[in-house]
Structure 1
Amino acid sequence: MNRTIESLSNATVLITGAAMGMGRMYAQLAVADHAAHVVLWDVNEEQLAAAVTELSGRGSAIHSYVVDVSKLEDIEAAAEKVRHEVGTPDILINNAGIVRGKYFWEHDQRSDIAATMAINTLALMHITREFLPAMIEGGRTSRIVNVASAAGLLANPRMSVYSSSKWAVIGWSDSLRLELVQAGHDHVKVTTFCPSYIKTGMFEGARGPLLTPLMEPAVVTERVWRAMKEGTPILMMPWTVKLSSALRGILPIAAWDVVAGRVFGVYKSMEHFTGRK
């Protein structure tokens, strides 16, 4: 059955990390697509208020919640409020994430390792677990978008913790997709998004590998939005991500290290990383 979403006029969309950057762009796309309700989650109260001001009065009901997605108790409390005040989301965009770019032994146990795994990996599972049973039970055409990364497909120096968080997301997200298919819940589709570097400020200082320039956020969000509506299982951007994944699977380790390190420059892409200040 074709379950491509043609209209969001009766849909509720929930976006994490929605106060700025790509999360805010997803919210703008939801409003532009005439979503009935747009639910914004973010830890930054000031930016969240600014997003609400920008998006209000355009036809969609805007609901905002200050949520620290690194804490399960915050997720549980916010999810209960959403269920009570808005209802079950039809579309869940698990967008919130952080990045740490340094050698593994330089990471702080709590602010780097624990925080990265909590926000980039566990939060997606916890949030999805809060809403998925009702999505399944409701029978409505539903979508879950999990933002992973090309770093979850390829090892890279100075990205050990970040990469591990995204490897976990890819494994979980695509397994969830298969579970829904196997259980016959075809109305809920999962899209796993694996991008290379995007010009959002999160990867400030990073250099794109050969043939892989830093991508424009607006172009990326529009492509993800289309993939979400079509129920695309996995979206890799740009095309070189798929190419590099294929080469990594074919070549011996020593040969791949030469190609990735010396030819494409993947292994040096984070040497001048500073991140968002």
Structure 2
Amino acid sequence: MKLETVAGKKVLVTGAAMGLGRLFAERAVREGAAAVVLWDVNEIALQATASELSGQGTAVHHYTVDVSDQDAIVAAAAAVRAEVGDIDILVNNAGIVRGNSYFWETENRADIDKTMAINSLAPMYITLEFLPAMVKNTGEARVLTIASSAGLVANPRMSVYAASKWAALGWSDSVRLELEQAGHDHVRVTTVCPTYINTGMFDGAKGFWFTPILEQDEVVETSWQEMKQGNPLVILPWTSRLNKALSGILPIKLRDVFLSTVGVYNSMEKFTGRK
């Protein structure tokens, strides 16, 4: 069931202060969403984004939320329901990545907890706040979750990040199947698995064979359209789909040789990330 536009819908975007989240929010405003709800932990950037998006015919609401905190999610979701109402379109975009060291060199174990909390658990808890109403209501609804190609193919120097995105992908696609099995066709789940994007989060990471660093606008445009179409899985770019397919066919040793040769296994060696 296609959704031609989000006009008149209520949209919530996490990690909305900058990067992909901001672009998703801008897209919702351009299409005439009834309300756009912005969640982010960066209060200053969040206020700036909310200010820039206001006054264009869409009600813009912003909440400073640390999505690694389950209690904060519950409180913010209650505030949204009270002030805005039920959400029709949920964009699980917030994410972090830490370090480029080998796993056994991890110095701060809190980074593990934080990565899993934001990348894996937060989409679950946030969706749990809004999905029941989506199921109950009869209007077209969507859940869009930004996972990663790291959730498709293992990669050195990002083991915890990969684990968090494997979890996000497995959870998101399972929820899609549950909705289909239960006959709730008006609610569609889309999971996006891009390679590195030029948001600053992966500064220092390098592209590999036929796979340059992706442009933010390209990822948002494709994700948005696929979400409205109700398509289940978006893998960007085509080389990532190829790597996934070959990883499922080749014996492990040959897979490792191939992915190392094309540069996947070396792509994080000079990673610095956003400061």
Worse overlay, 5-14 or 92-101:
5-14
Cα distance in 2 between the residues matched to 1:206 and 1:111: 23
After TM superposition, where is structure 1 displaced by more than 2 Å over at least 4 residues in a row? 106-111
Kindly indicate whether the alpha-carbon contact (under 8 Å) linking 2:67 and 2:122 is maintained by their aligned counterparts in 1: yes
Q: Does 1:256 align with 2:255?
A: yes
Aligned to 1:90: 88
Structure 1 residue 148 displacement after superposition: 0.6
Structure 1 residue 109 displacement after superposition: 4.8
Counterpart AA for 2:36: V
Aligned to 2:180: 181
Aligned to 1:159: 158
User: What SS does the aligned partner of 1:26 have?
Assistant: helix
Structure 1 residue 107 displacement after superposition: 2.4
Counterpart AA for 1:86: V
| Deviation digits for residues 97-143 of structure 1 (CA, Å, limit 9, x no counterpart) | 00123211222454310000000000000000011111101121000
| Deviation digits for residues 196-219 of structure 1 (CA, Å, limit 9, x no counterpart) | 011110000001111100011011
Query: What is the percent sequence identity of the aligned residues?
Result: 59
Aligned to 1:103: 102
The CA RMSD over aligned residues, in Å, is 0.8
TM-score, length of structure 2 as denominator length: 0.98
Aligned to 1:195: 194
Aligned to 1:32: 30
Structure 1 residue 57 displacement after superposition: 0.6
TM-score, length of structure 1 as denominator length: 0.97
Aligned to 1:13: 11
Unaligned runs of 5+ in 1: none
Structure 1 residue 10 displacement after superposition: 1.4
Counterpart AA for 1:71: D
Unaligned runs of 5+ in 2: none
Aligned to 1:205: 204
Aligned to 1:146: 145
Aligned to 1:69: 67
Cα distance in 2 between the residues matched to 1:108 and 1:141: 46
Aligned to 1:220: 219
